[in-house]
Amino acid sequence: MRYVFLSDIHGHLRRLEAALSFTASMRPDRIIFLGDIGGDACFRRLFEAGAIGVFGNWEVSGWSQLAEPVQQAVRQLPAFLEEDDFIAAHSLPFPLMGIGGPAEVQAHMRQEQIHWRALFPYLTDEHVRWQAWAELLARGRRFLFYGHTHQQLSWSLDARGRERMLRGNILHASPDMHYLIGVGSICRPDDGPGITLVSYDAPAGMVQWHRLPEP
């Protein structure tokens, strides 16, 4: 399977169209969005493109602003997906386990008076990353593809427990290592201009980070 991961659109339909046009040229088997889509038009365009995905903190706070039937579709989004050898999520997926969809998470946060950052932490925090490594190992997955940070920051973990930040645009994954892959942002990347997303060829074990020009 060949995948494309994109995240953090925040209602920028023109930039999403540019990303989907580029994605079509790669002919992926599946497009996966990682939350913070931001508005009916962007959700409709993703569904039209056959994309599947997960919710982010925008969907938790903004699902009720969406029109029917988009609202109902968004309420059914999961906190994370597991396919092949990866987990895909907006942030660290495991604080959300067992709570439900965006509406249920919103109600849970209000009832327990929990700030959204507690359920959607940033993987730029080393402590959060070690939680992610522990869960990847426990669940037998090699990759976590995540959004939320608006950056393509990525790390590997070797068999001796040594973490290393990844550099470059292409990764040929080692079968005895684990990876946290930041997919970047369709709108407002915090690590440079453009539109950023990630592709993953599962049979080849190859991850590629893409940066498109401003539309």
User: What was the pLDDT predicted at 149?
Assistant: 96
User: What was the pLDDT predicted at 176?
Assistant: 93
What's the rounded mean pLDDT across residues 47-75?
96
Q: Is 54 exposed, middle or buried (0-12, 13-18, 19+ CB in 10 A)?
A: buried
Contact criterion met (CB below 8 Å) for 42 and 11: yes
Q: Is residue 22 pLDDT above 90, yes or no?
A: yes
User: What was the pLDDT predicted at 215?
Assistant: 83
Contact criterion met (CB below 8 Å) for 157 and 133: yes
Cα separation, 112 vs 89, whole angstroms: 23
User: What was the pLDDT predicted at 188?
Assistant: 84
Q: Could you report the per-residue pLDDT of 165-201, keeping only the tens digit for each?
A: 999 999 999 999 999 999 999 998 888 899 999 999 9
User: What was the pLDDT predicted at 80?
Assistant: 97
Q: Could you report the per-residue pLDDT of 112-171, keeping only the tens digit for each?
A: 999 999 999 999 999 999 999 999 999 999 999 999 999 999 999 999 999 999 999 999
What's the rounded mean pLDDT across residues 12-30?
97
User: What was the pLDDT predicted at 189?
Assistant: 87
Higher pLDDT, 9 or 214: 9
Rg (CA), the chain: 16
CATH of the domain at 156: 3.60.21.10
Domains of the chain: total: 1
Range of the domain at 21: 2-212
What's the rounded mean pLDDT across residues 68-73?
94
